[in-house]
Amino acid sequence: MIFYIVAFALVITMCLALVRAVRGPGLYDRVLAVNMMGTKTVLLLAVIAYIMGRPDYIDLALAYALINFIGVFAVLEFFRTRESQLALTSSTTQSGQEKALDEQGGQS
Amino acid sequence: MAWVDYFHYWVFAILLMIGFFGVIAKRNLVKKLVGLSIFQSAVFLLYITMGKVEGGTAPIYGITDNTVFSNPLPQVLILTAIVVGISTTALGLSIVVRIKEAYGSIEEDVIHEKDRVE
Amino acid sequence: MIEIFNIFLMAMLVITALAMVSSRHLFITVMLSGIFSLLVAAIFLFLDAADVALTEAAVGAGISTVLFLGALALMDVEETARGERWVRVSSLVVVAVTTIALVYATFDQPLFGDPNAPINLHVAPWYIENVPVHMGIPNIVTGILGSYRGYDTLGEVFVVYTAGIGVLSLLGDPVKNRMNRPVQNHGLRHYLIPRVVGRMLIPFIILFGLYVQFHGEYSPGGGFQAGALIAAAIILFAILEGENRALNVIPMRVLYLMMASGALLYGGVGVATLFMGGNFLEYTVLGSTMVSGQQWGILLIEAGVGLTVTGVLITIFHAFAARSNL
Amino acid sequence: MDAWSNVVEIISIVFMAIGAFFIFVGGVGALRMPDFYTRMHAASLTDSAGPIFILIGLILHTDSFLVAIKLFTVLVFILITGPTASNALASAALLAGNKPSLAVKQTTAE
């Protein structure tokens, strides 16, 4: 019974995190929600293993615990390179491609 | 609880159509690819749902005493399809990258406009 | 009782999918697709598909987010045009009509979990009964994947291989692209905490990947999952230390070799069985008894699958990373 | 012997209940807190306290040594990766110029 309660708490928290991910005002709130979801999923998988009486399911929880955070690092790297690229492009004049885009945006 | 029996299929239908909407209505090429991958996941879900057997367990011998197993065949098909799916999505993304480099945009309208001008 | 969790998760899945399609910012879409993948994996586990859930975990948690971000680094993340009104309205109508038709069609489907559904009566009982007899391995999924449906898996491996070649031919050789770039990328080398912790975890991820590869006959796992896990470890290294160092550790020619040799190993096993007097991919002739022959065959082709998947996924990452600055 | 296993059972149930409580509170906090960094604080509660209690509760509940080891490994990895991911996220947010709302208020007041 306690397993069901724990699993229920985890699913409810996943719902709350999903609300944060869908509504979240900033980009980072969404990353935070994804990260939260990840940990909740690890725990949920471990608890499911107990509910179903299948100890081998814990391998899945282990897999998630190991590789879940790669996404967050990729996000950090993404913003870091984007910052440096923006710094590069804003110091020079606006590139031709972007200008063409702006003009077309104005026409339509 | 009769509706529970069909709930999984409904979720499949709705997800499939959300993905389809993304593919046909969105003008952004990456968005189209995301719609395609939602579509794909919906199909995966349908296969796995159909293979589930009431009171069954994952098809691995020797871990529990339960010898009623869910259908392993859809699982085999979907397992390989997931990895193939990510590879083909990567292929699609690389085409989008080339389109972006050639046309300067990934919006369908802009690309068509440029084609017409040339 | 367990169905309740599944219903919750599926409702969340639909909400996530809606948000993914309706969001105007592509970065948000990618983040939500991470959540989508987590939910799908949990649902697969509730539906007794442990192997599939492990595959989804290995692919969805690390690799697909990284790939999408790598592609997004090359484009505008904002969606500018929404498309004309009539397009949206007419596609909404099409989608609504099709949804109603599909939901109507579901009432002809067998009930959820029905053991007497047609799908569960035809070949599946034979597979479940005969995997322990023919192969002597407990994981039925691995048995079917490797032996009974070996042709199918061979095709899938070649599709993955072809996709890898396709990405390379579209995006060009990563090493050459890298040399032409103005700014060299050093990854997160200046972020001490991620770097130290990430480096500490890489051996464990690879170890776990090898466990999944070679224990796949006894627990959820196999070549596809192991390939994705090991590729995730290498991609993590590349993110932390910059791709140049990752390419020093595993150069492109090794990756090409892995891609090709995995597919060749799979095909080679088939040809070898032909020469030993069996049919294509009939592993029985590989060993003295049927069980040992089948086990040898499955071990070899799983190794081939693992090699190809690892090679292709890392190659795809490098191809994207060399174009963008990620 | 029987009494002892009963005690362990009760302890494990109590641990899991505490863990579920922490998880839920962290989830509510992540939804209700006013700005990004405070939300992150609440979310990291679910990354540390929740898993500790729930997984220790699960470990106490099992009698298989292998399962206990696997769960302990999961716990160790969560405790290592969770805070690291939070750190990476916070530095990414700060890098992009996302200021805590209190800091913004103070600078505008001055």
Q: Do chains D and C touch (3 or more CB pairs under 8 A)?
A: yes
pLDDT single digits (tens) C249-285: 899 999 999 999 999 999 999 999 999 888 888 888 8
Structurally, how many domains does chain C consist of? 1
Q: How far is A54 from chain B (nearest CA, A)?
A: 7
Which of B53, B54, B64 to mutate to test binding with chain A, by most A CBs within 10 Å of its CB? B64
pLDDT single digits (tens) B20-55: 999 998 888 999 999 999 999 999 999 999 888 888
The whole-number average pLDDT for the span D45-51 is 85
Tell me which residue of C53, C72, C71, C73 sits closest to C228, measured CA to CA: C53
pLDDT of residue A95: 39
Given CA atoms B12, B14, B19, B23 in this order, what sign does their dihedral have?
A: positive
Cα separation of A44 and A50, whole Å?
Answer: 10
Query: C47 to chain B: which residues are within 8 Å by CB?
Result: 48-49, 51-52, 70
What are the backbone dihedrals phi and psi of residue C123, each rounded to the nearest 5 degrees, phi first?
-100, -20
Nearest to C91 among B25, B54, B86 (CB): B25
Query: C117 to chain B: which residues are within 8 Å by CB?
Result: 50
Query: A52 to chain B: which residues are within 8 Å by CB?
Result: 57
Among B1-5, C132-136, C258-262, top mean pLDDT goes to C258-262
Tokens of C88: 């949206």
pTM: 0.90
Asked if D14 contacts A5 with a C-beta cutoff of 8 angstroms, the reply is no
Domain with D92, as residue range(s), is 2-109
Instruction: Write the CB contacts of C198 (distance below 8 Å, at least 6 apart in sequence).
Output: A73, C188, C236, C237, C239, C240, D84
* Subunit partners of chain A (3 or more CB pairs within 8 A): B, C, D
Q: How far is CA A89 from CA A84, A96, C77, C240, in A?
A: 9, 11, 16, 25
pLDDT of residue D48: 85
The whole-number average pLDDT for the span C288-298 is 89
C25 strand-pairing partners: C78
Q: Does B64 touch chain A (CB under 8 A)?
A: yes
pLDDT single digits (tens) D25-39: 999 988 888 888 888
pLDDT single digits (tens) D66-103: 889 999 999 999 998 888 888 888 887 887 777 776 66
Range 18-57 of D in CB contact (< 8 A) with A: 19-21, 23-24, 26-28, 30-31, 36, 39-40, 43, 46-47, 50-51, 54-55, 57
Cα separation of D11 and D29, whole Å?
Answer: 27
pLDDT single digits (tens) C25-50: 888 899 999 999 999 999 999 998 99
Cα separation of C94 and C84, whole Å?
Answer: 16
Residue C81 has pLDDT above 60, yes or no: yes
C77 part of a folded domain: no
pLDDT of residue D107: 58
Cα separation of C242 and C123, whole Å?
Answer: 49
Residue D9 has pLDDT above 70, yes or no: yes
Cα separation of D47 and D19, whole Å?
Answer: 11
Cα separation of D42 and C114, whole Å?
Answer: 43
- Looking at per-residue confidence, does B64 or C21 come out higher? C21
pLDDT of residue C211: 93
Tokens of D15: 């641990």
Domain with C190, as residue range(s), is 136-326
Q: Domain ranges for chain A, please list them.
A: 1-68, 69-108
Cα separation of C283 and A60, whole Å?
Answer: 30
| Topology, domain B2-117 | Helix Hairpins (1.10.287)
Note whether A104 contacts B63, CB cutoff 8 Å. Answer: no
The whole-number average pLDDT for the span C240-247 is 86
> How many Cβ pairs within 8 Å bridge chains B and C?
291
Residue C179 has pLDDT above 80, yes or no: no
C88 part of a folded domain: no
Tell me which residue of C105, C107, C112, C106 sits closest to C48, measured CA to CA: C112
The whole-number average pLDDT for the span C88-99 is 91
Asked if C26 contacts B30 with a C-beta cutoff of 8 angstroms, the reply is yes
Tokens of A47: 């608890």
- Residue B55's identity, in one-letter code, is G
- Identify the segments of chain A with pLDDT beneath 70: 83-108
Asked if C228 contacts C309 with a C-beta cutoff of 8 angstroms, the reply is yes
Q: Domain ranges for chain B, please list them.
A: 2-117
